[in-house]
Amino acid sequence: MEGQSMPARSTKSGRPRLLQMICIFIVALIVLVGLAVLIFWLAVRPKRLIYTIEDAKVYGFGLHKNSLNASFDFVVRAYNPNRRMSVYYDSMDVSVAYGDEKIAFSPVEPFYQPRHNVTKLEVKPVAHNFALLGAVASDMRHEKGTGEIEVTIRMRARIRYKVGVVKSAHYKLRVVCKRVEVSLNSSRGFNRAYCNVHT
Ligand SMILES: *[C@@H]1O[C@H](CO)[C@@H](O)[C@H](O)[C@H]1NC(C)=O
Ligand SMILES: *[C@@H]1O[C@H](CO)[C@@H](O)[C@H](O)[C@H]1NC(C)=O
Ligand SMILES: *[C@@H]1O[C@H](CO)[C@@H](O)[C@H](O)[C@H]1NC(C)=O
């Protein structure tokens, strides 16, 4: 009886040992990858990109019934505070909203932003004979009397980070700049507006 059970036991314990080895290997791999990510993170310490609107003007403003003409001219300051990480902007677009309605749109040429760099983008979204919703048009007509209109500027981009020679996958970048006061008199000054950045 004992002689029969001996070989049976050794073949039984052979498989669990292989499984055990595989488990140890997988755990070790996870720990190693985790450590690599941690070391990379500590070395690079990624910081969030910082966006502000430095200037906002509007030219050719015309509002007739529900139809809007407006040529916006924005200076966007994009700051990459990272000392070890540069950014590829593979696509980007800027939109202007008044209330909930998107009134103008402009694409931005793809660009590369080096490490620790400030890039100023000039973007010029245009509303040409744009049909506003009735309520939006009457709000705007009302606000026009104050000499300035308040808009929300939104930017969407597809970006990749680069550290050394390593490039990341694509990330979506969303920038929202609320309550940007655009004076209808372009010779009046502008107060810098700060934006929220989400990746
Ligand atoms: C917008 O501009 C066009 C010409 O470019 C003009 O025909 C139209 O009347 C203007 N609309 C408003 C509301 O100013
Ligand atoms: C930021 O990078 C751009 C593009 O390479 C360059 O033209 C610009 O001079 C840089 N700005 C600063 C402040 O270094
Ligand atoms: C625009 O603003 C400037 C400076 O504040 C002022 O001198 C000028 O009269 C204004 N123009 C209009 C049309 O309101």
DSSP 82: -
Residue 96, strand partner residues: 104, 153
Instruction: Indicate whether residue 189 lines ligand 3 (CB < 6 A).
Output: no
- Please write the tens of the pLDDT for every residue from 175-198: 999 999 999 987 888 989 999 999
5 Cβ contact partners less than 8 Å away, ≥ 6 residues apart: none
Closest listed ligand to the CA of 189 = 3
Instruction: Indicate whether residue 129 lines ligand 3 (CB < 6 A).
Output: no
Closest among 192, 199, 134 to 173, alpha carbons compared: 199
Average pLDDT rounded to a whole number, residues 162-174: 92
| Distance, CA of 129 to CA of 126 (rounded, Å) | 10
The pLDDT of residue 5 is 47
Q: Pull the structure tokens for residue 93.
A: 């677009």
Please give the CATH architecture assigned to the domain spanning 50-198.
Sandwich (2.60)
CA 87, 88, 89 angle in degrees (round to 5)?
A: 115
Q: Which of 14-23, 89-98, 113-122, 139-148 has the lowest mean pLDDT?
A: 14-23
Instruction: Indicate whether residue 114 lines ligand 2 (CB < 6 A).
Output: yes
Among 59, 61, 69, which residue has the most ligand 1 atoms within 8 Å of its CB, making it the best to mutate?
Answer: 69
The pLDDT of residue 3 is 47
Instruction: Indicate whether residue 186 lines ligand 3 (CB < 6 A).
Output: no
C-beta separation of 42 from 84 below 8 A = no
Q: Could you tell me the distance, in angstroms and rounded to a whole number, from the CA of residue 185 to the centre of ligand 3?
A: 6
Mean pLDDT of all residues belonging to the chain? 90
Residue 56 pLDDT > 50, yes or no?
Answer: yes
